Amino acid sequence: MVGVADSVGEFTRGGYAETYFWVEPKARMVAVYVRQAPGPMRAYYRRLSRQLVYAAIID
């Protein structure tokens, strides 16, 4: 994904109307993001949600 540091082995899938998920085996994490609002801001909110999730992880 553009603007987000991806890990080797990570995979994602985006759907219509801003449904999105990603799986990162290295971090043992699965995240699901659902927002009912298609449009040009979807990439911004995907990046923001990923950044917030990673910022919340405590090692």
Question: How high is the pLDDT of residue 3?
Answer: 42
pLDDT greater at residue 37 or residue 50: 50
Please state the separation of Cα 4 from the chain's center in Å: 9
Sheet holding 11-14, edge to edge: 11-14, 19-24, 29-34
Q: What is the DSSP letter of 47?
A: H
Q: What pLDDT, in 10s, does the model give residues 6-18?
A: 677 888 887 777 7
Backbone dihedral region for residue 38 (phi beyond 0: left; psi -120 to 50: alpha; all else: beta): beta
| Predicted local confidence at residue 4, as pLDDT | 54
Q: Is the pLDDT of residue 48 over 80?
A: yes
Q: How high is the pLDDT of residue 1? A: 46
Amino acid making up residue 32: V
Q: Which two tokens stand for residue 51?
A: 């950044």
